[in-house]
Homo-oligomer: A and B are copies of this chain.
Amino acid sequence: MDKPRGEGQRVEGGRGLDRILALSDGEDAIAITLLVLNIEVPEIPEDLVAQELPGELLDLLPKLLSYVFSFLVILVYWMAHHSIFGIIKEHDRGLLWVNSLFLMFVALLPFPAALHGEYGDQQLVVVLYAATMAITRLLLGSVWWYVLGKPWLVHIEMDPTTRRIFSIRGWVIPLIFLISIVISFFSVTAVVWSWILLVVADFVLLRMIRR
């Protein structure tokens, strides 16, 4: 309340921000947990169970890997959300909308994840998956770019380094996902490797910049 404000700016504080976080955390927790519903218990006739179960469970392995990867991506997004909102101290209507659009895509993620678990060898599916993930991250980035232009919503202590890290990170993940779409036109298998690279790159990059 003690910072310069734009003309006619309506700022809302107090319990409001807590509820935005409650909705965001709730949705992340649910989206992350719904992912497991894609791994279904195989249905096998009673007299064949002992014989066929090992094979059926082995067939679930791609779905399990897909679960782990989608979980990690949503988690990385949640962590970025966590970091960004660690800087925000007040909110306005615009922030509510930007954050909500991000949440709309987070809630949607279990679908492309399920699709990828089922048809991960199809280029179309890989493109859809990468595109949804990229858009979701861009929307999260928008939360960041939104508050950057409205200094009265954030804590004064934000140092230039933090600012730079957040701005770079907002582009890195969407960019790699977009590159993976290009790769998918040559090889669908290579895409999955580019994604694993993505998580590692993000991790290393974060450590490097922090130094």
Contacts and interface: CB of A to CB of B under 8 A. Distances in A.
Contacts of A86: 12, 14-16
Interface residues of A, number: 59
A37 B85 CA distance: 29
A18 B136 CA distance: 24
Contact of A71 (B28, B30, B36, B104): B104
A10 B57 CA distance: 42
Chain multiplicity (copies): 4
Q: Which 3 A-B pairs have the closest CB atoms?
A: A26-B29, A30-B33, A22-B25
Contact of A122 (B22, B49, B103): B49
A5 interface: no
Interface in A24-82: 25-37, 39, 41, 44, 49-50, 53-54, 57, 67-68, 71-72, 75, 78-79, 82
A107 B28 contact: no
A182 interface: no
A119 interface: yes
A86 B124 CA distance: 45
Contacts of A125: 53
A19 B21 contact: yes
A59 B10 CA distance: 43
A181 interface: no
27 contacts: A12-B86, A16-B82, A21-B22, A22-B22, A26-B28, A26-B29, A30-B30, A31-B33, A32-B107, A34-B36, A36-B108, A36-B110, A39-B111, A41-B115, A41-B119, A49-B119, A50-B122, A53-B122, A53-B124, A57-B124, A71-B104, A71-B107, A72-B104, A75-B100, A75-B104, A79-B96, A79-B100
